[in-house]
Amino acid sequence: MTDTTPDYATILAKLAALEARALKDDAAAKVRGGDSTFADGPVAPRYFVWKERIAHFSPEQFAMVNALWNAPDRRMLGAELAEAVFGDELRPLRNVQRGVNEVFRLPTVAIRFTISRCGEYWVLE
């Protein structure tokens, strides 16, 4: 007789997947207007909506996207952006930038935005 009881790791993985789906559904419900339209741009706590597509970000990734979205010309000096993303902690922005760009390129997201560095500035375009 084979034991078909799922192990603890399998149960946790299934719970995490259900929670992720619930969070995405909750974000969609929050950004959807009465006429089933979406507001484009960052949506707290960690989403970005563009033309009815939703991207889900880590807290640091969302902080970067939100700061650049709300900045004049969607660009910020590196030091200002680092403060918006990390607070007083000095850390490189490159890993967060790569993560944001990867999320934007996901086939299920496919939002045509990217964050790049132009001299001392970081730009959302």
pLDDT tens for 101-117 read 999 999 989 999 999 99
Please determine, for residue 44, whether its predicted confidence score (pLDDT) is greater than 70. Answer: yes
Cα-based distances in Å from 49 to 9, 10, 66, 114: 32, 31, 11, 14
The strands making up 53-56's β-sheet, listed across from edge to edge, are: 41-43, 47-50, 53-56
pLDDT for the residue numbered 75: 97
**Residue 118 bridge partners (DSSP):** 121
pLDDT for the residue numbered 35: 44
Mean pLDDT confidence for 3-13: 68
pLDDT for the residue numbered 95: 96
Backbone angles phi, psi at 75, to 5 degrees: -145, 145
Coil, helix or strand at residue 53: strand
Work out the mean pLDDT of the chain and round it to a whole number.
Answer: 84
Please determine, for residue 122, whether its predicted confidence score (pLDDT) is greater than 90. Answer: yes
Backbone angles phi, psi at 95, to 5 degrees: -65, -40
Tokens coding 101:
């760009």
Q: Where are the domains of the chain?
A: 8-124
Single-letter amino acid code for the residue at 66: N
Sign of the alpha-carbon torsion through 102, 71, 46, 122 = positive
- Exposed e or buried b for every residue in 94-107, given b needs 16+ CB within 10 A? eebbebbeebbeee
- Predicted confidence band of residue 28 (pLDDT cuts 50, 70, 90): low
Pick the CATH number of 8-124 from 1.10.260, 3.30.2320, 1.10.10, 1.10.1660: 1.10.10
pLDDT for the residue numbered 77: 97
The percentage of the chain sitting over the pLDDT mark of 90, rounded to a whole number, equals 58
